Amino acid sequence: MADRKATLQIDGQSIELPVLSPAAGKDVVDVRTLGKHGYFTFDPGFLATGSCESAITYIDGENGVLLHRGYPIGELATKADYLEVCYMLLHGEAPTEEQYQEFKSTITKHTMVHQGIHNFFNGFRRDAHPMAMLCAVTGALSSFYHDDLDIHDENQRLRSAYRLIAKIPTIAAMAYKFSIGQPFVYPRNDLGYAENFLNMMFSVPAEDYEISPAVARAMDRIFTLHADHEQNASTSTVRLAGSSGANPYACIAAGVASLWGPAHGGANEACLRMLAEIGSVENIPKYIEKAKDKNDPFRLMGFGHRVYKNTDPRATVMRESCHEVLKELNRDDPLLDVAMELERIALEDDYFIEKKLFPNVDFYSGIVLKAIGIPTNMFTVIFALSRTVGWVSHWHEMMGEANQKIGRPRQLYTGYTQREFSPIKK
Ligand code: SDX
């Protein structure tokens, strides 16, 4: 496409800025040269700012499209397993059977953690939130690999990525076991990724644990639905941390920290607590009114999204999973009735229509996780486990860039201009 320019007329200056065209989505105005004309851009929350080039995931918020390496999320969630999705997020293409088996074997062999990791948990209180433990212990992983790690070597970057994809489930399950006072369960190389995680979570030395194929399938699908999502808050955190050349394990710990917030990955835990607080279909109107009341900080958790403005395609798949899992496990959950009715009412309400608020990925995931037997305080840990592949894929992509720069935003300064300091004794 011919070189397109945007012209900024300001203070008598005419500033020409290149317009860049993506493979899909909105054109971008390249403002990198704006500084030399004496101006910065200002965009708190990055509502209209592209922070990087990426080829991993594409989101069309207006049309509810989510592609991972060009493949629609609905197809991946039903036709691929999580490790296939991990391979394609990291390497760019879907694996051949041989590549898949080699990747699966590599991940499997990295699932154990150094025995010293077990000692970290003894420093936590029993009631420590599992996200606090995951954040701390993931960061601690950097102490085991820092010295022999050259992040500018692609193969060493990939080995770090494989270790993280393999070990985060083990650490997540250890956080859960510690919180309930049960012994840690070691990974097993004869089990698949989701089965291994369920076994580390729910088996006990005292008896055999039978893994439900339906639960394992649902778990694997949840991992896939949360695997990556472009430049969301936690992925942007990982990129910014990694841009300084920081250890990848420390960068992923930063991503865990950012995901924890209720506006982001903490929404699934907050959503289930909200559904439990609403309690019954009769109470829904009261909470809808609270969500619309500007003076009330209450928000409908699991509703709304920065990018999706009509539908979150992951919520659609998650809703189907909800029904499948509850049916296959022969369970019903009154909270599902509340969730379905809340969705119906909210989607008919003028406020939610005007604000383009509808269920996001976190709205139904909590109900599926609860049906699988995952405790509420582990929901965001599952999200972090699932998103680790997205985080490491973006970190790997960034660190492979020819002119990778440290991220260093500017600001709109509103403090004092220079003034003289008078020491106290004067
Ligand atoms: C995830 O970025 C990603 O991709 C994230 C994620 C991923 O995979 O990484 O998709 C995962 O984080 C999903 C979102 C989970 N969060 C929640 O469900 C928490 C509830 N949702 C909101 O906090 C909110 O909708 C956000 C944070 C998701 C989006 O916030 P924005 O884009 O900054 O929008 P906003 O806060 O400016 O809201 C716009 C308007 C406001 O009203 P006005 O000031 O314009 O009058 O909509 C209102 C808000 O008050 N609003 C809500 C609401 N969300 C927004 N009102 C009631 N309930 C809500 N949930």
Condensed to tens digits (0 to 9), the pLDDT of residues 150-162 reads 999 999 999 999 9
In percent, how much of the chain has pLDDT > 90? Answer: 84
Residue nearest to atom 40 of ligand 1 (CA): 355
Q: Considering only CA atoms, which residue is closest to atom 54 of ligand 1?
A: 304
Buried b (16+ CB within 10 A) or exposed e, 389-417: bbbbbbbbbbbeeeeeeeeeeeeeeeeee
CATH top-level class for 82-402? mainly alpha
What is the domain partition of the chain in residue ranges?
A: 82-402
Residue 276 has pLDDT above 90, yes or no: yes
Q: Kindly give the distance from the C-alpha atom of residue 357 to the centroid of ligand 1, in angstroms, as a whole number.
A: 8
Judged against a pLDDT cut of 80, whether residue 146 lies above it is answered with no
Indicate if the pLDDT at residue 77 is higher than 80.
yes
Using CA atoms, how far residue 197 sits from 106, 173, 244, 286, in Å, is 16, 7, 33, 39
Q: What is the pLDDT of residues 42-62, one digit of tens each?
A: 999 999 999 999 999 999 999
Nearest to 351 by CA among 426, 291, 278: 291
Annotated catalytic residue, options 68, 129, 305, 394: 305
Q: Quick check: is 264 catalytic?
A: no
Question: Residue 308 Cα, ligand 1 centroid: separation in angstroms?
Answer: 10
Say what the pLDDT of residue 133 is. 98
The residue-averaged pLDDT of 292-318 equals 92
Q: For residue 70, is pLDDT > 90?
A: yes
Instruction: Work out the percent of the chain whose per-residue pLDDT is above 70.
Output: 100
What pLDDT does residue 324 have? 86
Given 226, 362, 394, 396, which residue is catalytic?
Answer: 362
Q: Which residue has the higher pLDDT, 330 or 420?
A: 420
DSSP secondary structure code for residue 303 in this structure: B
* Span from the CA of 158 to the centroid of ligand 1 (angstroms): 34
For position 265, what pLDDT does the model report?
93
Ligand 1 binding pocket (C-beta < 6 A) is 229, 232, 263-265, 267, 291, 299-307, 355, 357, 360-362
Q: Which residues have CB under 8 Å from 226's CB, separation 6+?
A: 314, 361, 365, 382, 383, 386, 387
pLDDT at residue 347 greater than cutoff 90: no
Tokens 């539908």 found at: 311
CB 301 within 8 A of CB 271: yes
Instruction: Tell whether the model's pLDDT for residue 1 goes beyond 70.
Output: no
Cβ atoms of 155 and 45 within 8 Å: the answer is no
Predicted confidence at residue 321, as pLDDT, reads 86
**C-alpha to C-alpha distance for 240 and 407, rounded to whole angstroms:** 6
Mean pLDDT over 280-297 rounds to 93
Distance 303 CA to ligand 1 centre (A): 7
Q: Tell me the C-alpha distance between 154 and 310, whole Å.
A: 39
Pick the residue whose CA is nearest to atom 8 on ligand 1: 229
Nearest one of 368, 389, 370, 365 to 168, comparing CA atoms: 389
Residue 148 pLDDT greater than 80, yes or no: no
State pLDDT tens for residues 163-215.
999 999 999 999 999 999 999 999 999 999 999 999 999 999 999 999 999 89
Select the more confidently predicted residue: 269 or 251.
251
